Amino acid sequence: MAKRGDKTREQLVKELAAVQSQIIELKASEAERNKIEKALRKSERKYNLLLENSGSAITFFDNKGKCIFLNTQAAINLGGKVEDFIGNDIRDIFPEKADFYMQRFFKIMNGGKGDIFEDLVELSQGKRWFSSNIQPVKDESENVVGVQITSYDITDRKEMEQEMKIKDNAIASSINAIAIADLNRNLTYVNDSCVKFWGYNDSKDILGKVGSTFWELGDKGIEVNRALLSRGSWMGELTARRKDGSTFDAHVSASMVTDEAGKPICVLGSFIDITEQKRMEERIVHLNQLLRANYNVSHLIAREKDPDSLLKGVCDTLVESRGYRHAWLVLLDIPGKVMTATEAGLGKEFLPVVSRFKRDGLTACGKKALEQSEIVVTIDPLSGCPDCPLSSKYTGTSALTARLEHNDRIYGVLSCSVPECYATDEEEHSLFRRVVRDIGFALHGIEAEDRGRRAVNALTELSQMLK
């Protein structure tokens, strides 16, 4: 029999079974622990793989500014290997900007909230732009122990932004007016030149309005729209309307802007005020007409010896050249009384004026011209000379009047209508003086020839009488 205190067989069996059960549980626990450790190692490898292949530079600094971790991309950006920076102080890595960065870190850590910054960083390979997402890092007790920085190289983007900024500034400061409208032709952008040309002070007064508001289009509007829809562009001259209602001539270029798929997204237009250019072109045309008139008058003088035919031919030539709208000429005798008068461009309305000339003398401008050698300029005869019977014929024009003379002999007066914009033009005056001088010389020559003929006739008669 077993002794008191000795375990029975049944007890030993139970204890053995309990030990075996514990061994099984320990083995299962160890297997589970190995499984978890394997999963953790796998997860760590994945995490490290993600950090290495994220395409971004990732670093971790503790609250003292010590580099605890960085991935390969971060090391490459800094011009070295990972082991060159792990454990280094930020003052060793960025000696010139360390204090600036630490202030930023403290702000993130103290505030407990991350932020994104864009910086131009001086690296061994040159300056590069980076966008950095800085987040506070906490331990198991929720204490902030440092910061994690995820940085992306945005140099290409910043350069593109700079290029776009330059383009935007170029458009904004262009002397050409530039406007953009949506597909409904509502203006969405205008530059400063556009605002200035249209007579406004602020683009806000223009944006949102239909583009046609600022143009006197007429049938041109249909032409422009058809060209934009069919060809994608249009170029030509239009009349622009300012805020105050005045107008100016503009050379306009318009084009349909499309996206990558070729779908229209807006209309781009540019224009420049060509009023002065057109005025200069018209002036050149006008002066050429006057030169042609001078040339034709010279040829007329060379071949025409009859005073009446000459004077009528001169008036016709001056008007037919399109240099003057109308012209009139009066011939005086020695005492200064009207002998004859002729015109071109006035028609039958000039006949009663001739009678008045012979009865009451010349008009105010004609009388003034007889008293001086300089040209008499009447800017607006319609309002400035209401008593003149010819003033109604000068609508929109001015008058140039000068005496016809040669060697102190005054033969008469020539008066021509000119566009008001040329009334004080020195070249206009120069060409008019040339015509006046040539006519005076021609009349002098005709008069001299007449005196010569009379002298010859007198001598002939005297010779015959002496026989």
Express each pLDDT in 248-268 by its tens digit: 999 999 999 999 898 999 999
The pair of structure tokens assigned to 399 is 């008058």
- Please name the residue that has the structure tokens 């800017």: 379
Q: How far is CA 296 from the centre of its chain?
A: 45
Residue 419: beta bridge partners? 397
Question: 60-119: per-residue pLDDT in tens?
Answer: 999 999 998 888 888 888 888 989 998 999 999 988 889 999 999 999 999 989 999 999
* Helix axes 426-466 and 275-303, enclosed angle (nearest 10): 10
DSSP 3-state assignment of 242?
A: coil
- At which residue do the structure tokens 């009388």 appear? 367
Q: Contact 176/190 with Cβ under 8 angstroms?
A: no
State the DSSP string of 393-418. GGTTEEEEEEEEEETTEEEEEEEEEE
Using the predicted structure, report yes or no on whether residue 20 has a pLDDT greater than 80: no
Helix (H, G, I), strand (E, B) or coil at 439: helix
Q: Which residue type sits at 199? A: G
Q: pTM to 2 decimals?
A: 0.58
Q: Residue 225 in 3-state DSSP?
A: helix
Measured distance CA(295)–CA(236) in Å, rounded: 35
More confident residue, 30 or 467: 30
Residue linked to tokens 């002298």: 455
| Tokens read off for 403 | 């005496």
According to DSSP H, which parts of 246-332 are helical?
A: 275-303, 307-320
Instruction: Report which DSSP code applies to 391.
Output: G
- Identify the CATH class of 174-272: alpha beta
List the beta bridge partners of residue 179. 190, 269
CA–CA distance, 417 with 429 (Å, rounded to integer) = 12
pLDDT tier at 449 (50, 70, 90 boundaries)? confident
Q: What 3-state class would DSSP assign to 319?
A: helix
Do the Cβ atoms of 56 and 76 come closer than 8 Å?
no
pLDDT for the residue 239: 94
Residue 18 tokens read as 């309990």
Q: Look at residue 352 in the predicted model and tell me its pLDDT.
A: 85
- State how far the Cα of 447 lies from the Cα of 429, in Å rounded to an integer: 27
pLDDT interval class at 236 (50, 70, 90)? very high
What pLDDT, on the 0 to 100 scale, is given for residue 1?
44
CATH topology of domain 280-454: Beta-Lactamase (3.30.450)
Per domain, the residue ranges of the chain are: 51-155, 174-272, 280-454
The DSSP call for residue 49 is H
Select from 3.30.450.20, 3.30.465.10, 3.40.50.620, 1.20.1110.10 the CATH code of 51-155: 3.30.450.20
On the question of pLDDT at 435 being above 70, the answer is: yes
Matching CATH topology for 51-155 and 280-454? yes
